[in-house]
Amino acid sequence: MKIVLVIFILGVNYYTFTYAISLWKDDHNKLAACGVAVLALLAIGSPVFILFFRYP
């Protein structure tokens, strides 16, 4: 069940990563792209950490 939730979280955050890549390449807005990428990493990292290390 945990793996299914991780796959769902990654699928949801895929759009955020593609938006960061679009900001970097198309709009040449590197600061915003880095901010969006960090936001996506936090959105992935915190639930995955809680799923695997907080609950048995």
Residue range 1-41, pLDDT digits in tens: 888 999 999 999 999 999 999 999 999 999 999 999 999 99
* 8 within a domain of the structure (yes/no): no
* 35 within a domain of the structure (yes/no): yes
Residue-level pLDDT at 31:
98
**Residue 44 structural domain:** 13-51
* 39 within a domain of the structure (yes/no): yes
Q: How far apart are CA 37 and CA 31, in angstroms?
A: 10
Quote the pTM value: 0.80
Residue-level pLDDT at 56:
65
For the chain, what is the domain count? 1
Q: Are 55 and 45 in contact (CB under 8 A)?
A: no
* 47 within a domain of the structure (yes/no): yes
